[in-house]
């Protein structure tokens, strides 16, 4: 099996490469290798390598910046997805596209099923929803949330830095979702592809937390393995106390029942993923 992975230098792209099935022929494309917002370049690249699967791990993820750069976000999150979908159809390949919990408005107060009505409240969510439509019904679309890994820029690494530098950290406590370890997501994507899944599916790690809960857990687990030398107060604050250009869903837990049935069981709890990530950071820097 030959698979093209876009966004190969990102958290998810690296994880997809690291756990690719034995014997897979992986074409790992960074932005320098392939600008997915270039229609002709996408068509030529896919025609040259003729993959069986295209895992689109590339995305415009600067949620706040998207409010003033919606056209730029749309070029990556929607237009590029259409180009990849067209190229996949031309080469009889399957597109596996990663989307987000931000397609929902967060007002439901209970986990969102894949068929729940969408209502994005910001530019990032709007462009990601447009990307789902562009991917088409024959693609595998997997919505996820709060992804982090041992490399790259993410909430865990930011918290580790701030907890080492500051005497306290203040973290939003009224936004609820599910932290998701990138290798867990990558494993689910490979498994769903192998199962022949198509259409919209939800995947995150199990459980739910606020950003405050997540920060408290990061400090507890990091102290336990000596990754942090001291504890600092973690202060819960309201979203209103930390204004940002983009609005965020207040509750965006995803219902993974159908996905877990396909995978043969539930995902690991998010705290298990956090422990794995912190151990990776301690062992490898």
What is the rounded CA–CA span in Å between residue 277 and residue 274? Answer: 5
Which pTM value belongs to this model? Answer: 0.97
Domain annotation covers residue 159: no
d(CA 177, CA 202): 13
Contact in structure between 185 and 97 (CB atoms under 8 Å): no
**Secondary structure of residue 54 in the 3-state scheme:** strand
Torsion of CA 115, 121, 126, 127, to 10 degrees: -120
pLDDT (0 to 100) of residue 263: 97
Alpha helices in 144-235 (DSSP H): 155-165, 182-194, 211-224
Domain range for 186 is 2-152+179-206+252-268
Q: What is the CATH number of the domain that holds 25?
A: 3.40.50.720
* pLDDT at 31 (0 to 100): 96
Is 7 inside any structural domain? Answer: yes
* Whole-angstrom distance, CA of residue 40 vs CA of residue 244: 36
Angle (deg, nearest 10), helices 270-284 and 182-194: 120
Residue 281, domain member (yes or no): no
| Integer Rg of the chain from CA | 19
Cα 276 to Cα 221: distance, rounded to the nearest angstrom: 10
Taking the C-alpha atoms of residue 224 and residue 221, their distance in angstroms, rounded to an integer, is 5
- Would 238 be classed as within a structural domain? no
Does residue 233 lie within any of the structural domains?
Answer: no
pLDDT of residue 152: 87
Which pLDDT belongs to residue 285? 74
Domain count, the chain: 1
Q: What is the pLDDT of residue 156?
A: 98
Contact 27, 48 (CB under 8 A): no
- What is the pLDDT, as a whole number, of residue 126? 98
Asked about 251 being catalytic, the answer comes back as no
Catalytic residue of the set 124, 203, 212, 251: 124
- Structure confidence at residue 169 (pLDDT): 98
Please report whether residue 240 resides in a domain.
Answer: no
| Residue 48 domain flag | yes
Tell me the residue length of the chain.
285
pLDDT value, residue 127:
98
Report which of 258, 155, 260 is spatially closest to residue 206, judged by C-alpha positions.
Answer: 260
Q: Are 12 and 186 in contact (CB under 8 A)?
A: yes
- Give the pLDDT of residue 284: 86
Q: Which residue do the tokens 């606020």 mark?
A: 210
List the pLDDT tens digit at each of the 285 positions of the chain. Answer: 999 999 999 999 999 999 999 999 999 999 999 999 999 999 999 999 999 999 999 999 999 999 999 999 999 999 999 999 999 999 999 999 999 999 999 999 999 999 999 999 999 999 999 999 999 999 999 999 999 999 889 999 999 999 999 999 999 999 999 999 999 999 999 999 999 999 999 999 999 999 999 999 999 999 999 999 999 999 999 999 999 999 999 999 999 999 999 999 999 999 999 999 999 999 987
Query: Which pLDDT score, from 0 to 100, does residue 105 have?
Result: 98
Query: How many CB atoms lie under 10 A from the CB of residue 182?
Result: 26
Q: Is the residue at 45 inside a domain?
A: yes
| The token pair that represents 82 in the structure block | 């259409």
Looking at residue 75, what DSSP letter applies?
I
Positions of E strands within 154-241: 169-172, 176-177, 180-181, 199-202, 209-210, 234-237
Does residue 228 contact residue 156 with C-beta atoms inside 8 Å? no
């Amino acid at each position: 099996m030959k698979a093209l992975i876009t966004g190969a230098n990102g958290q998810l792209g690296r994880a997809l490469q690291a756990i690719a099935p034995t014997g897979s022929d992986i074409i790992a494309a960074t932005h320098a290798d392939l600008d997915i917002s270039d229609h002709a370049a996408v068509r030529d690249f896919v025609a040259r390598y003729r993959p069986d699967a295209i895992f689109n791990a590339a995305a415009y993820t600067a949620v706040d910046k998207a409010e003033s750069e919606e056209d730029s976000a749309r070029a990556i999150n929607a237009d590029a997805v259409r180009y990849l979908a067209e190229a996949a159809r031309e080469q009889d390949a399957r597109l596996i596209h990663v989307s987000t919990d931000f397609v929902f408005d967060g007002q439901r107060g209970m986990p969102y099923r894949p068929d729940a009505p969408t209502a994005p409240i910001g530019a990032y969510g709007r462009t990601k929803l447009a990307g789902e439509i562009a991917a088409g019904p024959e693609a595998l679309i997997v919505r996820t949330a709060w992804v982090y890994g041992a490399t790259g820029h993410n909430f865990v690494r930011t918290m580790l830095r701030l907890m080492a530098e500051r005497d306290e950290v203040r973290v939003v406590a009224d936004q609820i979702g599910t932290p998701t370890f990138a290798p867990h997501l990558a494993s689910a994507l490979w498994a769903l592809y192998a199962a022949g899944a198509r259409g919209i599916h939800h995947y995150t790690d199990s459980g739910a937390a606020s950003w405050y809960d997540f920060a408290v857990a990061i400090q507890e687990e990091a102290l336990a393995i000596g990754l942090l030398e001291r504890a600092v107060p973690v202060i819960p604050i309201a979203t209103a106390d930390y204004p940002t250009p983009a609005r965020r869903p207040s509750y965006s837990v995803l219902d993974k029942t159908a996905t877990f049935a396909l995978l043969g069981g539930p995902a690991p709890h998010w705290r298990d993923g956090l422990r794995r990530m912190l151990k990776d950071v301690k062992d490898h820097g």
